[in-house]
Amino acid sequence: MKDKFFNLFDARFILAFSFIVLIVITVLKPFVGGIAGLIYIYLIFISYKNIKDKNYASQRYIEQISQDFDSVTKQAVFNMPFPMVICDGDGTVLWYNTLFVNLFSSELMGENIKNILPQIIREDINETGYYISFDSKDYIVYKNNVDLSTGSSERKSIQMYFMVDSSDYKKLQRVYIDSKAMILKIEVDNYDEALDSTPDSSRPILIAEIDSILNSYFDEYQGLLIKSDSDTYIAVLSFQALKQIKERRFDLLDDLRELDKGNAIPITLSIGVSSFGKSFSESYQEADTALDIALGRGGDQAVVRVDDNYEFFGGRSKAVEKRNKVKARVIGVALRQLIDATDEVFIMGHANPDMDAMGAAIGVHRAVLNRGKKGYIVFNEINPSIENLMIRLKKEEPELLKDFLNSEAALGKIKSNSLIIMVDNHRPSMTECPELIAKTNQIVILDHHRRSKEFVKNPVLTYIEPYASSTCELVTEMLTYMSENSNLTHFEADALMSGIIVDTKNFTFQTGVRTFEAASMLRRQGSDMVKVQALFKNDLDTLQSKAEVVHATKIIDGKIAISKLDRYQENSILIAAQAADELLQINNIEASFVLTHKDNKIHISGRSRGSFSVQLVLEKIGGGGHLNMAGAQVETDSIEEAEKILRKALDEYMKEVENK
């Protein structure tokens, strides 16, 4: 443009310079100056004319370009090869092209785009567009906002939507996603115990049948199955196949459980599945972790990693007791070494501890003292569940009280190299002092509850055995491997025994051979069953409240009992738990749930006889526990609302059972 058009600044400079020269000439030679003046006037005229002509030509050029651009723009809009619609700021359709109206069968002018194509309205727009689905096709939508507020238009703005058909791309994307490889790690639960329970002549048949069922199952999904050990398998499946298996809720678990070749112990599987989009090494590691979770939850279930969460399938059967004590010995030795390597140990149960949590904490405290180390039990306040135990502790073991610290004192005393031992709980948020967990990376977990989604990050030692009756059983067993003499006082032995009794309901539920072995060991250490039973005595108000709960019971489907204690009471959780146990005494009742108030929340206690998993029900509302004993807290102070949430979870569970 600079080369083609006259530069006005240059022209003015030349004229000004010429005018100065003209004055000088006129002063020196007036005649010559007069002639030069005429020439100067002529040059001014010519310059003005040239400037005017060239400015006119420039204006015409710009106007022509603008006209051509408008024409090209109109042609581009009218002949757009994909659907396009223009709306005003309120969403009213102002114009659309033929391809857009062909998507519909009615007149669209003046209609609101929200009524025509609501999915096209999005706030989170960006330059890359966004995807919508319409009429069995996928589109990527580009939106352009045009501001008209500075012009003469009555409208403040308009929106232009361009819809580019991306069905082929989305189809290719789905094919790519569905074909991604997923890794499954499979372990036969209690493989040795199941074989031992099978007649010798049938054992080879049982082993062959397990392999046959697994191979046939994964062949059905065009998967690859590799037997890596006698009881362990690795499977590789497409993501599409995994979706189909999830829809069938891992019916492989049922196929194996129904296998009968004379084995007294049913064959069950634990399955860990990796998440989507990982490398093979990462997928294998995730599958291995998921398998650990499945085993930690009692086996007979599949755990699928989904992003940062887990999905659970199965888990409706009772964990079978393992007769092998090697693990208990290994854990006991490892815990002894960890205690020896630290200066002080902090022992912590769950909030509102029961007899099992407190008994286990007292037992671990004795193990710490046996190693010559300083141990503290983190404990905030007495609750009705352990009130009798704490009264007896003050009378018989006053020195032990000095090692009880509340959360504030524990936070002020703990060091980065201190050891924390969590008992009867593996969820950080459920501990007496969740903040304490962040103070050290030396954390040990001793628990018998089925593993939940929430878990301590990178514990140095984990001992979760859902087959065990109680954490007190695990601690009692470990004590025999941690030192030659457990040195338990009579009170400490009674505390451990009380934990076993409360969780087994007087050796009725979840009681195995090792439970009685632990009880025998405690009896040898001086545990007195009369004194232990005295710890569970209730006052008259508690008995009357339990009777009130039983009286208010409603029966669902002839097999589920639901009741409530609809008032605030100091020992409401204890009453709910004991009342739930009482409701199981009703004929044909398979499960019971009791709701009560606790700290502006609704607490739910669930119990079952074993054929119904109260754990899976209460996990749906954020709780957890065992197949036959679980609990949950609902974030509401309305029992009616909490009961609706519970009933919804029950409906979901029953549908899952019916679909099997």
459-486 average pLDDT score? 90
Characterize the bridge pairing of strands 443-447 and 419-423: parallel
Reduced 3-state DSSP string for 370-415:
HCCCEEEEECCCCCCCCHHHHHHHHHHCHHHHHHEECHHHHHHHCC
Q: Output the pLDDT for position 530.
A: 93
State pLDDT tens for residues 620-642.
998 888 788 899 999 998 999 99
Numbers of helices and strands, H then E, in the chain: 22, 23
Angle at 224 between CA 223 and CA 230, to 5 degrees: 130
Q: pLDDT (tens digit, 9 = 90+) per residue, 406-423?
A: 999 999 999 989 999 999
Q: Distance (Å, rounded) from C-alpha 90 to C-alpha 113?
A: 9
* Exposure class string for 331-365: b at 16+ Cβ within 10 A, else e: bbebbbebbeebebbbbbbbbbbbbbbbbbbbbbb
Give CA separation, 517 vs 17, 97, 451, in Å: 118, 83, 25
Q: Which CATH architecture has domain 326-534?
A: Alpha-Beta Complex (3.90)
Residue 483: predicted pLDDT: 82
Is 252 in contact with 217 (CB distance < 8 Å)? yes
Report how far apart the first and last C-alpha atoms of the chain are (Å, whole number). 79
* CB atoms closer than 10 angstroms to residue 32: 12
Per-residue pLDDT averaged across 452-474, rounded? 89
CATH of domain 542-658: 3.10.310.30
CATH architecture assignment, domain 84-174:
2-Layer Sandwich (3.30)
Using pLDDT thresholds of 50, 70 and 90, give the confidence band for residue 6. very low
Domain 181-314, what fold? Alpha-Beta Plaits (3.30.70)
Strand partners, 422: 348, 445
Specify the pLDDT at position 315. Answer: 73
- The answer on pLDDT for 363 being more than 60 is yes
Mean pLDDT over each residue of the chain, to the nearest integer: 86
d(CA 433, CA 436): 6
User: For residue range 315-329, what is the model confidence (pLDDT) as tens digits?
Assistant: 766 666 565 677 788
The answer on pLDDT for 246 being more than 80 is: yes
Q: Most confidently modeled of 134-148, 221-235, 277-291? A: 221-235
pLDDT over threshold 70, residue 2 = no
| 277 φ/ψ angles, rounded to the nearest 5 degrees | 80, 20
What whole-number percentage of the chain has pLDDT above 70? 92
Supply the pLDDT for residue 24: 74
pLDDT of residue 144: 83
Report residue 66's pLDDT band, with 50, 70 and 90 as the boundaries. low
Give the residue with greater pLDDT, 142 vs 35: 142
Flag whether pLDDT at 489 surpasses 90.
yes
The pTM of the whole model exceeds 0.85: no
| Max mean pLDDT range (67-81, 184-198, 225-239, 304-318) | 225-239
In this prediction, residue 71 carries a pLDDT of 61
Please tell me which residue, 447 or 568, carries the higher pLDDT value: 447
Q: Which of 65-74, 246-255, 324-333 has the lowest mean pLDDT?
A: 65-74
pLDDT value at 253 more than 60: yes
Confidence of residue 359 (pLDDT cuts 50, 70, 90): very high
Q: Which of 58-67, 96-105, 156-165, 350-359 has the lowest mean pLDDT?
A: 58-67
Q: Which residue has the higher pLDDT, 355 or 67?
A: 355
pLDDT of residue 5: 43
Q: Which helix (H) or strand (E) holds 572?
A: helix 572-583
Q: How far apart are alpha carbons 298 and 313 in whole angstroms?
A: 12
pLDDT at 3 over 50: no
pLDDT confidence bin for 7, thresholds 50/70/90: low
Distance CA 92, CA 90 (A): 6
Least confident of 15-29, 285-299, 601-615: 15-29
